[in-house]
Homo-oligomer: A and B are copies of this chain.
Amino acid sequence: MKLNIALLAGDGIGPEVIDQAVKVCDAVATKFGHDINWTPALTGAAAIDACGEPYPDETHEICLNADAVLFGAIGHPKYDNDPSAKVRPEQGLLKMRKKLGLFANVRPTFTFPSLIDNSPLKRERIEGTDLVFLRELTGGIYFGEKGRRDGGETAFDNCVYTRAEVQRLAKKGFELAMTRTKKLCCVDKANVLETSRLWRETVQAMEKDYPEVEVSYEFVDAVAMRLVQWPNSYDVLITENLFGDILTDEASVISGSMGLMPSASVGSENQLFEPIHGSYPQATGLDIANPLATILSAAMMFEMAFGLKEEAEAIKAVVNKSLDEGVVTEDLSGKNKSYKTSEVGDWLVANL
């Protein structure tokens, strides 16, 4: 099979972890007889430096022409404490999501038996956790009208949702639930927000089309609590953009394997795969960043974008093997020997 993949390394540790993912993907392709055509493109602070624009048109063209996008991370500290900066790397991310129509962010949180003791939670709280968030990614307060009035003294952000936007996300949620334990939780703040009431009534109306799925409705504040108390009581959760931003990050640290969590952002035409961790600027260039989340994102890509399940399983298996044998970067090595980012990549290739 010929696989056309756009490669957006981004900022910080992005390029280093992407390099390992490329090595592993190429090795898998060779093993299974595929042919990957990688097309690199600029994004984030790297793109601003090069052409003043965090998501250049050229990059967009490359993504549109690819079958899938593999993405590293973006963000640079020089923009962080300057709320007035005109161009920011994150704008590139938002523009990319919007222009590629990536309306659903798929964020699993699961545990690795060998890493369970890394969790800040007690073992009995976290064992067996295997949940997936579907976060709406191209609507809500992120993309509503925003600005200032009264000479800058008043600021506003509008949160807007249409029924159709809720339906297409919820549909993915119901479908995903059908492939798992058939439990779906709709997270909202329907006791306060009109957009949440639209979410809830839309999902309620869809229940009849999926009679086997057991749907629960929970307020976002309650979910923020239960995620810490009983994360293993959830299966599939659907939610709007901002709630999803907060809750998926909260969920990610619960597993104790934040550096390992992959994600996919999908639309009706395009698909993008990225680790959930950020650009980790302090570690840039040190060859110490954990590449496994990016490599597991590549596994998701094989499965979701190309339907190549066996290839995905091969990647997951060798990642598990590296964890079992302690071939891990310093964030996971504890008191044992740690490996460099590139050494982990090489080991995975050799052991595939």
Which residues of A are interface residues toward B (Cβ below 8 A)? 81, 83-84, 88, 90, 94, 120-122, 125, 141-142, 144, 146-148, 150, 152-164, 189-198, 200-201, 217, 220-222, 224-225, 227-229, 242-243, 245-247, 249-250, 252-254, 258
Copies in the complex: 2
Asked if A84 and B228 make an inter-chain contact with CB atoms under 8 angstroms apart, the answer reads no
- Least CB distance from A207 to B in Å reads 12
List 11 extra interface pairs beyond A150-B162, A220-B246, A225-B258, CB under 8 A: A141-B193, A154-B161, A154-B162, A155-B198, A157-B159, A159-B159, A189-B242, A224-B246, A228-B228, A228-B254, A243-B246
A interface: dominant SS:
helix
Q: With A194-B147, A194-B148, A217-B81 given, is the CB distance from A228 to B250 under 8 Å?
A: yes
20 contacts between A and B (CB under 8 A): A84-B201, A88-B191, A120-B122, A120-B125, A120-B229, A141-B141, A141-B192, A141-B193, A146-B195, A148-B194, A156-B158, A157-B193, A157-B195, A220-B246, A224-B246, A225-B249, A225-B250, A228-B250, A228-B253, A229-B253
List of B residues within 8 angstroms of A227 by Cβ: 250
List of B residues within 8 angstroms of A189 by Cβ: 242, 245
List of B residues within 8 angstroms of A94 by Cβ: 192
Asked if B229 and A194 make an inter-chain contact with CB atoms under 8 angstroms apart, the answer reads no
List of B residues within 8 angstroms of A147 by Cβ: 194
Closest partner residue, chain B, to A256 (CB atom): B229
The CA-CA distance from A254 to B195 in the complex, in Å, is 29
Asked if B155 and A195 make an inter-chain contact with CB atoms under 8 angstroms apart, the answer reads yes
List of B residues within 8 angstroms of A161 by Cβ: 154-156
Closest partner residue, chain B, to A125 (CB atom): B120
Q: With A81-B217, A83-B201, A201-B84 given, is the CB distance from A195 to B246 under 8 Å?
A: no
Closest partner residue, chain B, to A94 (CB atom): B192
The CA-CA distance from A158 to B164 in the complex, in Å, is 20
Q: With A225-B252, A229-B120, A250-B228 given, is the CB distance from A195 to B160 under 8 Å?
A: no
